[in-house]
A and B are shown apart, each in its own frame.
Chain A
Amino acid sequence: MKALRISRSIPRLGLARIASPLSPAAAAKIGPLNYTVVDAPDLPGPGWQRVRTRLAGICGSDLSLVEGHASLYFQDWVSFPFVPGHEVVGELEDGTRVVLEPVLGHEARGFSPPFDGAAPGDGDDYTHLATGPLEPGIQTGFCCSTGGGWAPEFVAHESQLHRISDDMPDERAVLIEPFAGGIHAALLAAPTLAARQDPTTPPIVAVLGAGTMGLAAVAGLRRYLPDVRIIVGARYQHQQALAKAFGADVVVGPDKLARAVRRAAGCHIIGDYLTSGAHVTIDAVGTSATVADAIRITRPRGRVVLLGMPADVNLDLTGLWHRETELKGAYTYGTETLPDGRTCSTFALAIETVNALTAERLLSATYDLTDHVDAIAHAAGAGRRGAVKIAFDMRSGDT
C-alpha cells in the first residue's frame, strides 16, 4: 500500500527545518516525509486488530516532525521509519467504526497495567514504551511496528480502540483524540483551583492559543470546571469566535491577554509581570514566548500547564523561581478524577464533549494522501487561512 512515512534522515530533517518557515509545502516535499509504498504491518500478537483508516488528522506534533522541529528527546522513544497519524477514526475488518486512543500502553506492549481499569496513558513508569515485543514508540503514529493513520491500514491493540455509535459522523470522531488532550490539560487545572488561597474569588484560567488544542481545553474547562472564569488569547477572528462559542468568558488577541487577566484578577502590572493573575494558565502553543507569557500572567504559586509541545525553549526562569510557579506538562490523557471525585477515562469525556459541541465544525478540510503537500501546507497555516483541523480522508479507498 502507499502511505506517508517519516524516515530518520538528518540531512532531510535539516532541510525541512530550514525550509519550513518560508514554505511548509517545501518542507513537506524535501523533508523526512515520503509518500511511498510500505508493507502493511504484521499483527504483533493476540488482541491486535487491523484498522482501515477513514479519517486521520494532522496534529501540531506531526507538523513538528515533518518540519524538522521535533525535539531530539524523541529519538529514543520512537522507531524509524514510521507512518505518522494518531488522530484516527477507522474501521475494523468487521466494519465496526472505531476511534484510536493512540498511546501504546502497558497492555498493548504486553505489560501489566499499573492498576485495574487503567487507560493506556496511565502509570508512572515509561519502561514499556521502549521495551518489550514492539519497537519503541510512544504512540501509534510514532512506532514502526504498528503503522499509523496516514496510511490506508495499520494495526491497533484492543486496549486502544473505542467503538463509536452509528450516529457519530467520522468528521466528529476524528476530533475525539485532540479533545481528549485538551480536556486532560483542563483537568490539570483542578488541583490548583481547589487549593487556591481565597476560595471566594472566582478561579481564573487563562488559555494561550486557540487552535484545536486550545479550543479543546476551553471546552473541557467549561464542561468539567464550570465555575472557572476562562480568558483566552486567540490570534485569529475565527478562533476567537469558536473560543467564545465553546464557553470562554473573555476572548482577546494574544497581545491583550495580560491586561484581560489583570482586569479579572484586579491586580497590578509591575514591569512585564502581573502581581497576581490567573490561577492556572494553559499554554496551547508551546514556544519560548508563550511559555514566558504564561509565567508572567500566572499568579504566584499558580500552575502553568504546557499543552502545546514546547521542544527547545529559551526562558528566563527567575520569575518562575520567585513566584514558585508550577510548570506542568500535559501529555495526552488517561484516567481523570473529576472535581466531584468520580473517575473516568479522558476518552469517555472527550466523546461526550465532541457530541455536545458537534465538534465536526472544527474540521476545516480533508485531503487525499496523494495531496499531502497541500494538506501539510494547509495545516501549517491553518490559523492564518481561517481553518482549525485538517485531515486525510481515505474513505474512498482510492489511495
Chain B
Amino acid sequence: MPRPGFVLNVDRSTPPTLFWHGEGFRLEKLPADRSRVIYAPEPLDAVDDIDGAIQDALLNPIEMDPLPTLLFPGMKLTIAFDDVSLPLPKMQRPDLRQRIIEQVLTMAADAGVDDVHIIAALALHRRMHEFELRHALGDRVYDAFEPRGTLYQHDAEDPDNLTLLGSTPEGEEVEINKRAAESDLLVYVNINLVAMDGGWKSTATGLASYRSLRHNHNPTTMEASHSFMDQHKSELHKSNWRMGEIMREHGPTVFQIETTLNTDTFPKPFGYLSKREWEWNAKDRALYLGAAKSLAKTPPRLARKIFQGIEAPHQMTSVQAGEVEAVHKITTENVYDQQLVEVEGQTDILTMGIPYICAYNVHSIMNPILVMCTGLGYFFNMYRGKPLVREGGVVILTHPTPNEFHPVHHPSYIDFFEEVLADTTDPHVMSQKWEKQYAEDDWYRHLYRTTHAYHGVHPFYMWYWGSHGMKHVGKVIIVGGDAPTVRKLGFTPASTMNDAFEIASDVVGRQPTITHLKTPPLMIADVK
C-alpha cells in the first residue's frame, strides 16, 4: 500500500535534505524546530492491463458513444496528441500515446476510415525531432503516417491552416488548426501529468494560434490564477472553458482521451531521489555519493546528456475517454489522488530545488528564464487553497542558473534575456512594450515554423507564468546560481543556503518558518 505524502517537521536528528540543483544535488541541513519538508506521496499502483484499460475506455466512454460508433467510411478523422513537453521525464517505451493511438487507428481501420491525420498539438512549443516523435508514437505509427504527410506538427503561424471558430463573450478569439476544426471527429490523446493540463486546455491551447493564446497567456490572467492546479480558481482555465464553449458550438466533435500517471519518476539507479532521506539504506547512500562526486567532475554538457537520457518508469494509473469536461473531471480527481499532500498553514520561506528538466527544455538546456518559470511558475503554483509561502515571504531556489541557452530551441529566449530583461522584469511592462515585437519577429517565426525553435513570444509566456509568484513574494533568492545571471532575473544570488537565510532575514526576520517542497516527484500541497 503506497504511503501518502508526508510533512516532516525537522528536528536536530533529521538528516540533511536532498535539494535538486540542476544536473546535480545539494544536501542542506535545515534549521531545527522551525523547518518542515514536504514529501510526495509514493507512487500509486499502475493499472495492471494498460492496453485492456485503454480499450475499455474507448469502448465505454463517458457521456459519449463508443469510439467505433463515431467512425465511418469517408470521414475526416484527426488524432491530436500532447507534445514532447509531457510527460517528464519521458516515459519508458512504449509511450502511452503510442498505445492509445495504435488502438484508435485499429478501430478506424476496422470502420473503413482512410482519411486520418495525426497532429502533434504543440501550440507555440518547438517542433519535435524525429526521434522524439518515434518515442512518443512508436515506429509503426511514425513509418506509416509521416512519409505520407499525414503525421505532422501543428503550425500556429500557418495562416492557410488555421480556422477562426469564433469569439467568446469576453472577445477571446478561438483560432485552431484548420484540419482539426474541419474534421468529423477530433480525438485528443492526453497525458495528464499535473492538474493544470487536459480538458479544454488540450485543444484550445495545443491546437491554437498566437492570436488565440494571447487572450489567456498574459500577465493579467496568470496573476489571477490561484493556482493553475486549482481549476476553479484559475483564470487561465476559465478562459479555456469559454473557448471550449466556442469549440463545442462551432468546432469538431471532440473525443477526449486522458491518462494519469503515478509518481514513479526515476529509474533504479536514481531511486534514492524518490526516497525520504532517513530511509536511505547503505546502497542509496553509496549511489548518492557516487553520483554526486562523479557529477561534480562531469562537464555540464555531459551531465546534461546523462540526465536528459533518463526514462521514467512512471506508469498509467487511469485512462478515461469521452466528453471533454466529464472526462477531465475524473482525470483531475485521479491526479489529486496521486499528488495531493495536506499541509497545515503557510510558511515564511519556501525552498525549492530546481531540477534539470521542465516542460520546455526536454533534450535541451534549462536556461535562466526556465529556471524562473519552473520555480515561480510551476513549483510555486503546486498548491490548492493557499500558496505554501505567505504573502510577502521569501522563495529560495537552488540551481546553477548558468547564462546558457540552446541556440536552436530557444533563440528568442537569448534576445529576451539580453534585451527585455535589461529593460524590465515587470511582466505587465514587457507585455505592453516588447511582446508584439517578439511575437511578430519574422526570423523567430521562420525558425519556429521550419526548425525546432520555440515561438518568438514563448519566453514572455514563461515569464508571465511566474507573475503570480513574483507578485506574491517579497524576495526571491537563488542559491548557487551564476550571480550576474541571477541579478539580471531580478533576484538575489546567494552562495550557500545559510547565506540565503541571512539575506532573507531582512524580509522575514531572524526566526522564520521554512518549508521545503521536495519535488520532483510531483505533488500538490493542499494548504489549509
Q: List 21 A-B contacts (CB under 8 A).
A: A250-B419, A252-B418, A256-B418, A259-B414, A259-B415, A259-B418, A260-B418, A260-B419, A262-B443, A263-B415, A263-B419, A263-B441, A266-B441, A266-B442, A266-B443, A267-B442, A267-B443, A268-B442, A268-B443, A268-B446, A269-B443
What 4 A-B pairs are tightest by C-beta distance, nearest first? A268-B443, A263-B415, A256-B418, A259-B415
Q: Mark B318-352, 1 if CB is under 8 A from A, else 0.
A: 00000000000000000000000000000000000
**Interchain nearest-CB distance for A196 vs B (Å):** 19
A99 to B196, CA, bound (A): 72
A269 to B446, CA, bound (A): 11
A267 to B444, CA, bound (A): 10
Q: Mark A257-286, 1 if CB is under 8 A from B, else 0.
A: 001101100111100000000000000000
Q: Mark B408-430, 1 if CB is under 8 A from A, else 0.
A: 00000011001100000000000
Nearest CB in chain B to that of A269: its residue: B443
Q: Taking each of B414, B418, B443, B446, which has the highest tally of chain A beta carbons within 10 Å of its own beta carbon?
A: B443
A268 to B441, CA, bound (A): 9
**Interchain nearest-CB distance for A271 vs B (Å):** 13
A291 to B441, CA, bound (A): 28
Q: Mark B299-320, 1 if CB is under 8 A from A, else 0.
A: 0000000000000000000000
Contacts of A267 in B (CB 8 A): 442-443
Contact residues, B436-455 vs A (CB, 8 A): 441-443, 446
A250 to B446, CA, bound (A): 25
**Interchain nearest-CB distance for A21 vs B (Å):** 29
A250 to B414, CA, bound (A): 16
Contacts of A269 in B (CB 8 A): 443
Nearest CB in chain A to that of B412: its residue: A263
A163 to B498, CA, bound (A): 63
A34 to B419, CA, bound (A): 49
A267 to B447, CA, bound (A): 12
A98 to B502, CA, bound (A): 59
A256 to B443, CA, bound (A): 17
Interface residues on A, range: 10 to 19
**Interchain nearest-CB distance for B527 vs A (Å):** 42
Chain B contact residues, CB within 8 Å of chain A? 414-415, 418-419, 441-443, 446
Nearest CB in chain B to that of A275: its residue: B443
Contacts of A260 in B (CB 8 A): 418-419
| Interface of A (DSSP majority class) | mixed
Contacts of B442 in A (CB 8 A): 266-268
A260 to B415, CA, bound (A): 8
**Interchain nearest-CB distance for B345 vs A (Å):** 46
Contacts of B415 in A (CB 8 A): 259, 263
Nearest CB in chain A to that of B444: its residue: A268
Contacts of A262 in B (CB 8 A): 443
**Interchain nearest-CB distance for A237 vs B (Å):** 11
Contacts of B443 in A (CB 8 A): 262, 266-269
A269 to B408, CA, bound (A): 12
A260 to B418, CA, bound (A): 9
Contacts of B441 in A (CB 8 A): 263, 266
**Interchain nearest-CB distance for B517 vs A (Å):** 36
Contacts of B414 in A (CB 8 A): 259
A357 to B415, CA, bound (A): 31
A266 to B418, CA, bound (A): 16
**Interchain nearest-CB distance for B10 vs A (Å):** 42
A250 to B419, CA, bound (A): 9
Contacts of B419 in A (CB 8 A): 250, 260, 263
Nearest CB in chain A to that of B438: its residue: A263
Given contact pairs A250-B419, A259-B414, A260-B419, a sample of 16 additional A-B residue pairs in the complex whose CB atoms are under 8 Å apart: A252-B418, A256-B418, A259-B415, A259-B418, A262-B443, A263-B415, A263-B419, A263-B441, A266-B442, A266-B443, A267-B442, A267-B443, A268-B442, A268-B443, A268-B446, A269-B443
**Interchain nearest-CB distance for A252 vs B (Å):** 7
**Interchain nearest-CB distance for A368 vs B (Å):** 39
Q: Mark A167-180, 1 if CB is under 8 A from B, else 0.
A: 00000000000000
A71 to B85, CA, bound (A): 57
Q: Taking each of A262, A263, A267, which has the highest tally of chain B beta carbons within 10 Å of its own beta carbon?
A: A263
Contacts of B418 in A (CB 8 A): 252, 256, 259-260
Nearest CB in chain A to that of B418: its residue: A256
Contacts of A263 in B (CB 8 A): 415, 419, 441
Contact residues, A231-253 vs B (CB, 8 A): 250, 252
Nearest CB in chain B to that of A268: its residue: B443
Contact residues, A21-52 vs B (CB, 8 A): none
A267 to B442, CA, bound (A): 7
A360 to B414, CA, bound (A): 37
A256 to B415, CA, bound (A): 9
A262 to B446, CA, bound (A): 14
Contact residues, A300-330 vs B (CB, 8 A): none
**Interchain nearest-CB distance for B481 vs A (Å):** 20
A269 to B415, CA, bound (A): 13
**Interchain nearest-CB distance for A176 vs B (Å):** 33
A259 to B411, CA, bound (A): 10
A142 to B481, CA, bound (A): 53
Nearest CB in chain B to that of A259: its residue: B415
**Interchain nearest-CB distance for A265 vs B (Å):** 10
A125 to B418, CA, bound (A): 47
**Interchain nearest-CB distance for B414 vs A (Å):** 7
A303 to B418, CA, bound (A): 26
Contacts of A252 in B (CB 8 A): 418
A280 to B257, CA, bound (A): 57
**Interchain nearest-CB distance for A231 vs B (Å):** 11
**Interchain nearest-CB distance for B87 vs A (Å):** 34
A75 to B443, CA, bound (A): 48
A267 to B446, CA, bound (A): 11
**Interchain nearest-CB distance for B503 vs A (Å):** 24
A252 to B443, CA, bound (A): 20
**Interchain nearest-CB distance for B420 vs A (Å):** 10
Contacts of A256 in B (CB 8 A): 418
**Interchain nearest-CB distance for B327 vs A (Å):** 43
**Interchain nearest-CB distance for A67 vs B (Å):** 33
Contacts of A266 in B (CB 8 A): 441-443
A250 to B415, CA, bound (A): 13
**Interchain nearest-CB distance for B156 vs A (Å):** 19
Q: Taking each of A256, A262, A267, A268, which has the highest tally of chain B beta carbons within 10 Å of its own beta carbon?
A: A268
A259 to B446, CA, bound (A): 16
**Interchain nearest-CB distance for A35 vs B (Å):** 43
Nearest CB in chain B to that of A256: its residue: B418
Nearest CB in chain B to that of A251: its residue: B422
A262 to B418, CA, bound (A): 13
Nearest CB in chain A to that of B443: its residue: A268
Contacts of B446 in A (CB 8 A): 268
A112 to B362, CA, bound (A): 73
**Interchain nearest-CB distance for B406 vs A (Å):** 15
A116 to B267, CA, bound (A): 86
A266 to B442, CA, bound (A): 7
A250 to B441, CA, bound (A): 18
A260 to B417, CA, bound (A): 12
Nearest CB in chain A to that of B414: its residue: A259
**Interchain nearest-CB distance for B407 vs A (Å):** 10
**Interchain nearest-CB distance for B424 vs A (Å):** 15
A260 to B442, CA, bound (A): 15
A252 to B422, CA, bound (A): 10
A266 to B445, CA, bound (A): 11
A263 to B422, CA, bound (A): 14
A314 to B418, CA, bound (A): 31
Contact residues, A75-115 vs B (CB, 8 A): none
A256 to B488, CA, bound (A): 16
**Interchain nearest-CB distance for A255 vs B (Å):** 11
A252 to B446, CA, bound (A): 25
Contacts of A250 in B (CB 8 A): 419
A327 to B329, CA, bound (A): 67
